[in-house]
Each structure stands twice: as structure tokens, then as C-alpha cells.
């Protein structure tokens, strides 16, 4: 059982993986079975498949009197490992944070990138295929195992009372996914520097210097946002020798990721297609479906490091894009809510 005032859990995911529901279950678990004052809420944008999603769960033995996003979680649940390449996804993660990550890699591999004491890894994709369960049920089981003071029986009762009543035909497969997540998750402890914090990316605007009128500084255009974290495992692979320069891929692409440069095609000087810019490609695969010559084919994202980390095929006009992060929201994560700095002897 925890000793401090709040026990906090943060889930990092993308739309379509069920992190929002998993957060709600953890919130209900704290209130209904653990006897805590419990809080659960999510942050997402357009609520579409592939868009960034964060879920926050806060438990307390006392009354909870704050309602702000969690910045220093006790447990971080990562539903999609590529989300960790997003700037700011590891904000506030310290040496004491327990990380539960959906990956086919073992804890030793993950520890090369995350300096935390306890790392839990679970291959949800493999277990989903074996159990026919949902990813969020498997992660739910892995997360409660990582928490340590939660009984599996209580979680099974919760699933029966909630998901079982709404989807009775799916109850058994969901319970199976929950149990496999609980028992199959791998854990390893590591020696890390004390008081280690991965990232602390502060908001440029706080309550003192933000423009009046409630202006939202989160730029929404895909031109200034790196979209690679919204992919769910597949990317379009470009085979130049098959390309017939029909530009159907460019027409169908919702984010205009295809790169064209001056070149020559069949003796004619023209703008030649050089393939997608993976920094902005979100993996919708529309170009693969429409390509008449199979110059674009589906590939498994994790097998291609260039695409996995959002590398650009060519140098764009700017070397580093200024707006690449998705916060909980521009207002609720402002400094006035969770962070004040001492300025000239006073508090800001």
C-alpha cells in the first residue's frame, strides 16, 4: 500500500487501443474495491483512431482536492511503444516510476532507453491473437500486477460488473486477456541514479504571459506536427522503380507527405515522386490501397528504423519543427495549475 497522499497512474496511448476505458476501470477499481477516493479522466483531441490519448488516474486515502493532469506518475502505462519517441511523453518520469510497456522486447532492451528501477514488458499483440481479447484488457492485467497491492479477483469482479453486463458474449475472452496480462508480464529491476528525471519540458506560456482571450497555442496543422506516433504498426513502403508518376498517392494522402523533386521520368524532365516523408506520415495506408502499380506496399513499422523514428526522407525547410507535442491541453497544463517558479524573490 502507498504511504504518500496520492497514488497516480498515467496511461500514454493512441486512439483505438482502449486506454480511455482502461483508465475508467482503474478509477472504478480504486473507488469500488480499494476504498480510496478515486479520480479518472482522459485527454484527447479529435477522438479518432490514431490520435494521441492520455489517461490519468489518481487514488487517495483522503479527499482528492485537485483536478489536474498527472505530471509525476507512480506508474506509467505505455500502450504503444512508439509513443515514447514523442517529445514530452516522458515528462516527469523519475527513477521511482514503474513503467509498463506494450512491446515484444524484453526489459533489458527497454532499460537502454528508460532509466527507471522497475520495467514491466508485455507483448499485447501476441496475446491478443492468442486470446482474441482486447489490448486494453491485457494492459489492465499487466498494470495491476505492476501496482502490486491490487488483488486479481477484485479486477475480475469489476470486469464482470462493467464489461460483462454490457457485452456478455465477450466476457470470457476479456477475462482471459486480463489474466494473461497479469501472469505473462515480465518484470526486471535495474540500478539507476537516484532522483533521475527523464524530461521536464515546460510550457512557454503561463498564467502571467499568456495572451488574453483564451488563445490555444497548440498548433493543429499536420504541417507543423510530427504524426509518426499515430501509426498503429504499419507503414507504406515506396518502391521507386515501380512508380509510374500518376500522383494518385499524393491526391489521396490526407497529410500531403509525398516528396517531389525535379528529375527525369522516361526521358521527360518533371517533378518526380520520391516517396513519403515518415515524419508526417500517420500510417493510414490510403496510398497503398490506391496505388495502381504496387509502388507502395504495406510494411511492418518496427522492421524499418527510418520510419519508426519519424525520419524525414529529405531535409525540409526547417531542421526542427517547433510544434511537435500534444499536451493534455494548452490551458489545463499551464504553469498556474501545477508548477510555479520563484522569480525575483516572489512566486510566479
The predicted-structure confidence for 82-95, as pLDDT tens digits, reads as follows 777 666 677 788 88
Q: Give the integer Cα–Cα distance in Å for 301 and 240.
A: 19
In the predicted model, is pLDDT for residue 54 greater than 60?
Answer: yes
Is the model's pLDDT at 100 over the cut of 90?
yes
Phi, psi (degrees; rounded to nearest 5) at 314: -140, 160
Total residues found in the chain within this entry: 348
Question: Average pLDDT of 6-19?
Answer: 89
Q: In the predicted model, is pLDDT for residue 28 greater than 90?
A: yes
Mean pLDDT, residues 260-289 taken together: 91
**Given this model, what pLDDT does residue 113 score?**
77
How confident is residue 76, by pLDDT bands cut at 50, 70 and 90? very high
CB atoms within 10 A of CB 7: 22
Residue (of 257, 252, 251, 180) closest to 225 by Cα position: 257
What would the mean pLDDT of 303-327 be, rounded to a whole number? 58
* pLDDT at 315 > cutoff 70: no
Percent of the chain with pLDDT strictly greater than 70: 76
Q: Mean pLDDT over residues 302-319, rounded?
A: 64
pLDDT at position 177 over 80: yes
Q: Are 114 and 198 in contact (CB under 8 A)?
A: yes
Across 121-130, average pLDDT: 91
CA distance 291 to 246: 9
Over residues 148-168, mean pLDDT: 92
Across the chain, the runs of DSSP E, i.e. the strands, are: 6-14, 37-44, 52-60, 75-78, 98-102, 118-122, 186-189, 234-238, 258-265, 268-276, 296-300, 342-343, 346-347
* Three cell numbers, residue 298: 504495406
**pTM recorded for the entire structure:** 0.70
Q: How confident is the model at residue 313 (pLDDT cuts 50, 70, 90)?
A: low
> Going from the N-terminus, what domains does the chain have, and what CATH number goes with each?
6-201 (3.40.920.10), 228-308 (3.30.70.20)
pLDDT category, 309, cuts 50, 70, 90? low
pLDDT (0 to 100) of residue 310: 67
Give me the mean pLDDT over the 198-223 stretch.
63
What is the C-alpha separation between 57 and 73, in angstroms, rounded? 9
pLDDT at residue 214 in the model: 62
- The predicted model gives 245-259 an average pLDDT of 93
**CB count, 10 Å around CB of 170?**
16
Sign of CA dihedral 59, 79, 307, 272: negative
**pLDDT higher than threshold 60 for residue 335:** no
| Statement: residue 198 has pLDDT above 90 | no
Per-residue pLDDT band for 207 (boundaries 50, 70, 90) equals low
Amino acid at each position: 500500500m502507498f504511504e504518500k497522499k496520492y497514488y497516480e497512474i498515467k496511461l500514454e496511448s493512441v486512439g483505438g487501443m482502449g486506454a480511455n476505458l482502461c483508465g475508467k476501470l482503474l478509477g472504478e477499481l480504486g473507488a469500488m474495491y480499494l476504498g480510496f477516493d478515486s479520480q479518472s479522466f482522459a485527454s484527447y483531441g479529435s477522438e479518432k483512431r490514431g490520435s494521441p490519448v492520455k489517461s490519468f488516474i489518481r487514488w487517495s486515502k483522503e479527499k482528492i482536492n485537485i483536478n489536474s493532469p498527472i505530471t509525476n506518475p507512480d506508474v506509467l502505462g505505455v500502450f504503444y511503444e512508439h509513443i515514447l519517441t514523442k517529445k514530452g511523453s516522458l515528462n516527469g518520469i523519475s527513477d521511482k516510476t514503474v513503467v509498463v510497456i506494450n512491446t515484444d522486447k524484453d526489459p533489458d532492451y527497454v532499460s537502454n532507453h528508460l532509466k527507471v528501477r522497475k520495467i514491466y514488458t508485455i507483448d499485447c499483440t501476441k496475446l491478443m491473437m492468442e486470446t482474441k481479447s482486447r489490448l486494453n484488457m491485457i494492459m489492465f492485467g499487466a498494470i495491476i500486477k505492476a501496482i502490486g497491492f491490487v488483488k486479481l479477483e477484485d479486477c475480475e469482479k469489476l470486469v464482470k460488473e462493467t464489461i460483462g453486463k454490457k457485452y456478455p458474449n465477450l466476457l470470457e475472452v476479456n477475462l482471459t486477456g486480463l489474466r494473461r496480462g497479469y501472469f505473462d508480464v515480465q518484470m526486471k529491476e535495474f540500478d539507476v541514479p537516484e532522483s533521475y528525471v527523464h524530461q521536464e519540458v515546460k510550457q512557454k506560456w503561463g498564467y502571467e504571459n499568456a495572451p488574453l482571450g483564451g488563445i490555444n497555442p497548440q498548433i493543429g496543422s499536420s504541417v507543423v506536427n510530427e504524426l509518426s506516433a499515430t501509426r498503429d504498426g504499419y507503414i507504406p513502403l515506396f518502391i521507386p522503380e515501380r512508380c509510374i508518376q500518376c500522383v494518385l498517392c499524393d491526391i489521396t494522402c490526407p497529410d500531403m507527405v509525398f516528396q517531389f523533386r525535379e528529375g527525369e521520368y522516361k526521358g521527360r524532365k518533371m517533378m518526380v515522386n520520391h516517396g513519403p516523408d515518415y515524419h508526417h506520415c500517420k500510417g493510414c495506408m490510403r496510398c497503398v490501397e490506391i496505388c495502381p502499380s504496387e509502388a507502395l506496399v504495406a510494411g511492418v513499422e518496427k522492421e524499418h528504423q527510418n520510419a519508426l523514428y519519424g525520419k524525414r526522407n529529405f531535409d525540409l525547410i526547417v531542421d526542427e519543427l517547433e510544434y511537435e507535442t500534444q499536451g493534455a491541453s494548452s490551458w489545463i497544463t499551464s504553469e498556474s495549475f501545477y508548477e510555479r517558479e520563484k522569480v525575483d524573490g516572489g512566486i510566479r
